[in-house]
Each structure stands twice: as C-alpha cells, then as structure tokens.
Amino acid sequence: MSSPLPALDGVRILDFSTVGPGSRCTRILADYGATVVKVGVPPKKARLQTQPAYWAYSANRGLRQVRLDLKDDGAKAAFLRLAATADVILESFRPGVVDRLGVGWGDIRKVNPRIIYCSTSGYGQTGPSASWAGHDINYLAVGGYLACSEPGPGGKPPIPGATIADSTAGGMHAALAIMAALMRREKSGEGEFLDVSVADGVLTLMSLYIDQHLATGAEPGPRHDVLTGRYAYYDTYACADGKWVAVGAIEPQFYANLCNALGCEQWLAHQNDDSVQEQVRADFAAAFERQTRDEWAAELASADTCLSPVYEIRELAQDPQYRARGAFSDARHEAEGIFQQLAPVLAGQDRAEGPIAAGDSSKSDTEVLLRDAGLGTDEIDRLRERGAIA
C-alpha cells in the first residue's frame, strides 16, 4: 500500500558508489522517496569503475545520473555546485581518496554546512585495517559469522548464499545512520560525518554471541547453542525427493507438535537433553525421508511446527505468499524490454503502479542537473568539449 507522501520526499543524495554496500544503501533510500543522483565518470574513464548488469540493484529504478571527471578543476567546481544543495553525499572509495580529489567531508562542508557525508568502507576510516581491500566474505570472516555457521567437510567455513555483509551490515547500516542523521539535523541544523564500517556492522549481526562471550567467557561456534544447531529441533532435513525442509521448533508446544507429527513421541520429554540429541536428529531425519518436501510443507507448515520448505530462487519467485504481498513487479528497460524484478518490499516503501522505468547507464542527466545547479550553457559546453563531463 502506497503512503500519501514518501518518507524521504525532498531529500537529495549524491552517490559515488556503483556496487556494494553504498549502492545497497541508496537503493533503500530511493525506495523511501529520496532523490538519488549517481555520480560517475565520463565514458573514457568508465572502465575504471565496476558496471553492474542492467537488472542489478533493482535496475537503478528512479535514479538519476551525472558524469564528471573530478580531476578536472572545472568539473570539480561543478560538483561542488551540486553538493551545495544536496542533503547527503555517499562515497565508497578507499579511505583518503575523496580528500585527495578535493571532495571530502572538509571540502563539502565549506559549501554546505548542513551536508550529511557518509563514507562506507570495509573496515572504517581509522584503525590498522582501514586500508585493507575486502568483500562480503571477508567482513563475515572477521566478524565471527563464518566461524559460527555450520561447517563443511574438514571444518571448512561455509560460503554464504547471500551478500549479508554488503546488504545488511553495510547497506542497511548506512541507510539507518543516514536517516538518523537527517532527524538529528532537524534539531541541530548541522550536518555530520558518518564513518560506516561494514565489518562493524557485522558485529551488530553477531551481537548475541559476542555479548555472550564478553559476559560469560563462552566460546560460541557451530552447535554451541540453540540458534547454531545444538538441538535437533533447529536444523534442516532432507526429504524423500532430495529437497529440504527447515525446522525451528524452539518453543515447547511447537516441539511437541513436531514430535507427534513425525511419529517421534518417544522424544517429547527430551527436547533439550544433550545426551540424546544425535538420536533425536537421526529419528527426525528418518521420518522426513518418508515424504517429499512439498508434502511435509502442506502437512506441517500451517500446523504450528515452525517448518518451512527450503526454496530455490526460482521457487520463491512463484511462492503464493510473496505473490499475494506484491513482492515482484514489472520493469521496463529501453534496450531490454519488460522484465520482472523485486519490488520495494521494506515496510513503508512506495510501490509504483504499472511497469517501473529502469535506469539506463548509457544515458546521463548531467546537463539538466548542472543547469539546475546554476551553470550556464557556455560553461557546460566547455566542460563537455574537453571531456570533463558526459
């Protein structure tokens, strides 16, 4: 359901990111109604930046684009004109790069004291690891996520099936920090600098186990506790067709329902009995092998057993629950035509009616945006002639 006014209506964001946590962040903010302008480089330098596929990051729906060569003094001055009327700037370069380019926090606040300047990086702007390169798996590694996940053969830490660090520890972390800073600015009238570390964000995801260790000295890891698979009632099981179900019957009443449904009544009084968990797990596994995944889901998913089917992506795209909630929408790309994509699904985000216009990385809003910032035709023409804008 669409709200009368987008939550971030009127908020203007300049975004230097092309992929990763920064683009996850501004995707969220754009879907809450912010005007997001992607700041890229002219085509002659575009090879220096990662260019995602047309469908990635929700196909850049609703985003605008400006292309500037910030190593050109005139183009840098033009960017500062844009920054003077912006609310937020987000960048994802290595620490120190924006300062060397002359568009860092100190440079921008001279022309716009109310600016909220968000720097997203793997390990933060300070500390001995600040200059390290990394990706999602690296931040999950140092944040304890991989060590607490079910290992593979030989204790091999798993490769997660989602970009958890980029999406949540980075993108949602940055979006939350920016929205909080916008609220704080309403009271103070001042802008601020946000140092968003993806690795720090992973610590918040792992806070339950980190706090347990710090308070008690416990050493969390696979099967150390309920949520890491210590007990048979919180696990995954193969079914007759080779597909899987996930079970999370933590509460006693759900556990009792599960035992009764599986014909495992002998374990009703042993939910948290560590001495028999492998026997319970073996009996549960044998029971689940009697029927297919979908048969078990049809029988137990709605029967207060905390059971769900383990879907592949192609299956969840057809799931009746997601379809009923409008989780997918049509999009239109000028070159690729009509295709489906994930709709804005976070609570309070607006959903357009009809196909959503996808962004086109081959086009630019540079001239319109620079005119709106006060640059004249002659000035824009000179910048274009020397390849400083596109």
Where in the chain are all domains bearing CATH 3.30.1540.10? 226-238+244-309
Rounded to whole angstroms, what are the CA distances from 161 to 73, 113, 129, 300? 44, 42, 26, 26
Rounded to whole angstroms, what are the CA distances from 261 to 245, 282, 284, 288, 307? 14, 16, 10, 10, 11
Query: Where does 12-204+329-385 sit in CATH, by number?
Result: 3.40.50.10540
- What is the model's pLDDT at position 1? 46
Under a CB-based contact definition with an 8 Å cutoff, are residues 194 and 109 in contact?
no
Pairing, β 244-248 against β 328-333 = unpaired
Under a CB-based contact definition with an 8 Å cutoff, are residues 212 and 148 in contact?
no
- What is the model's pLDDT at position 318? 96
- What is the model's pLDDT at position 45? 63
- What is the model's pLDDT at position 51? 75
- The residues of the chain scoring below 70 in pLDDT are 1-4, 45-50
Give the whole-angstrom CA distance, residue 38 versus residue 367. Answer: 14
Give the whole-angstrom CA distance, residue 4 versus residue 344. Answer: 16
Phi-psi region of 372 (alpha: psi -120 to 50; beta: other; left: phi over 0): alpha
Which positions are annotated as active-site residues? 135, 166
Instruction: Based on DSSP, count helices (H) and strands (E) in the chain, helices before strands.
Output: 17, 12
* Cα 152 to the center of its chain, rounded Å: 26
| DSSP structural state of residue 102 | T
- What is the model's pLDDT at position 52? 85
- What is the model's pLDDT at position 112? 98
Q: How far apart are the first and last CA of the chain?
A: 38
pTM: 0.93
Give the whole-angstrom CA distance, residue 237 versus residue 287. Answer: 10
Residue with tokens 């079914």: 239
- What is the model's pLDDT at position 352? 76
Under a CB-based contact definition with an 8 Å cutoff, are residues 194 and 178 in contact?
yes
DSSP states along 180-212? HHHHHHHHH---EEEEEEHHHHHHHHTHHHHHH
Domain 226-238+244-309 falls under CATH 3.40.50.1820: no
Contacts of 302 (CB under 8 A, 6+ apart): none
